[in-house]
A and B are shown apart, each in its own frame.
Chain A
């Protein structure tokens, strides 16, 4: 069963933020839930902190829980998404929901800004790469037109 804290994670930025916080909490060394809760609020964004604090309060052995959660962070799959623009929070949310629904495993998104794509996206996941960008479509269209007009001559490499 997926940890509720991992459910909140959408991007690799959030994942690295959580990893840093978990390391810091483990270094604190205490099992006092109040101390851990205040540290979590200091280190994390509100939603992540809240989810983590809820789990800390529900669990018996906090140290084991934190270590288990940290180990789970290493098993997170990353999907690399290249976009020609910076995505809004709303878009990130929608993409994250789609991924949760369709991939069904703990996946976070690594966004990469690539203006050269013009539109669409480039996606790489588990070693596979796909270019679904507008720039590729334009290149393909121009190549077809070039072939029609010039044949194989003057092919730009």
Chain B
């Protein structure tokens, strides 16, 4: 429908009396409702964010300047975005137009961008694990399908690389991946697009893109559009991975809009409803009877300060967090995940009995290792058992190291960890261990016989000890695949 059609349909018109950056104030439109979609006579769109006695306050969804005197009309409903299979492989803006050309994309159906999260009746328990392909997460901070896990850390610490790794693993499993780039650099967006194209996962991926130069209104809408698209595929019976990168930028732009609108500021000048705005979005993710949406919102820390307002809000909303530690990053660890400060409230219940035992053993070993390393600083002579722990610890840390482009399937991950535990690579050089582990992963993905061997080793085992014994019995078969 066009502007004139809405004019005839609603019988109401408004005229812009004031125009600020991102906002317009309109006189008229007596029937305007909160969050209603508004169309300007030049085709631009806006959304009602405030209703006053004389004026209607509208958030502009365009970078163009809206002139005073421009006619406006209300649509009679909320903003709806197009969703459908046509979006797969595309990079779009929050109004479902091609990100580069601005041309609208034809889709199967339209859905409201902002809805009330589904109640408890449509939800089911999270029972299936969500494999990320990253050893630290799959073994120590496991995720469940339908979980919302916050990815948090300072800037330029490897969060986006981690998210792309997870997206690679999920897409190769056949899951739909929706990545919302919220006020990102154009260079970062380009790199993400190239990663997706190079790894041939375009057909499973949708990018909802806003850059730092996009209008504040569109930046605010980006995660909502991404969630709406994810819901469409969920309702089609699919499992969806939704990445919101990043929610602290989303909060900052919402703050900018509300301060410009002279709404009363709260803590740190954020509007009082910032928790509501972000929680109602993230509550739309979860595990449902039809499908699941696993959400990975991202939060940026300033100088590793975890007590920030938005950061603590997001930690409260989500089902755990994966912390990227600056000190670990500076030490050269990749990914720089801190296992002691990372939490997964839901993931452990989805693990198999074996995985739970492996996770427990690995975590307690890491704690012991950390204590021993601190003891080393005193310079006292080390006992034999301490030296053994340190040697094993060095091998375990090599095991957990992973390049940004790699994704390691869980079975081979567990077997390799158990192999280190069994002492298969005892007294080997770190470089040899690295090479052999990398070869084993490649072999698992390419050799059917080796794949079968690994699956047989893992199946039916209930504890790490059982797996270690099985590996010791098959050590020759495993070690013959060194090169």
Contacts and interface: CB of A to CB of B under 8 A. Distances in A.
Contacts of A151: none
Interface size class of A (residues with CB under 8 A): under 10
A124 B13 contact: yes
Contacts of B14: 127
A127 B26 CA distance: 10
Contacts of B10: 129
A136 B11 CA distance: 14
A129 B30 contact: no
B7 interface: yes
Contacts, number: 26
Contact of B29 (A80, A127, A130, A136): A127
Interface string B13-42: 111000000000001111000000000000
Interface string A118-157: 0000001011111100001000000000000000000000
A80 B11 CA distance: 14
B429 interface: no
Contact of B12 (A80, A127, A136): A127
B11 A126 contact: no
A72 B74 CA distance: 29
A130 B13 CA distance: 9
A127 B51 CA distance: 14
Interface of chain A, helix or strand or loop or mixed?
Answer: strand
Q: Which of B8, B10, B27, B30 has the most C-beta atoms of chain A within 10 angstroms of its own C-beta?
A: B8
A126 B8 contact: no
Interface of chain B, helix or strand or loop or mixed?
Answer: mixed
B28 A127 contact: yes
Interface residues of B, number: 12
Nearest to A12: B69
B30 A127 contact: yes
Interface of A: 80, 124, 126-131, 136
A91 B14 CA distance: 26
A62 B452 CA distance: 99
Those 7 A-B pairs whose CB atoms lie nearest each other, nearest first: A127-B28, A129-B13, A127-B30, A124-B13, A127-B29, A129-B11, A127-B12
B8 A124 contact: no
B7 A128 contact: no
A136 B29 CA distance: 22
A136 B27 CA distance: 26
Given A127-B28, A128-B13, A136-B8, 16 more contacts: A80-B15, A124-B13, A124-B28, A126-B28, A126-B30, A127-B13, A127-B14, A127-B30, A128-B11, A128-B12, A129-B11, A129-B12, A129-B13, A130-B11, A131-B7, A131-B8
A124 B29 CA distance: 11
Interface string B301-322: 0000000000000000000000
Interface in B252-266: none
Contacts of B7: 129, 131
Nearest to B28: A127
A44 to B, nearest CB: 23
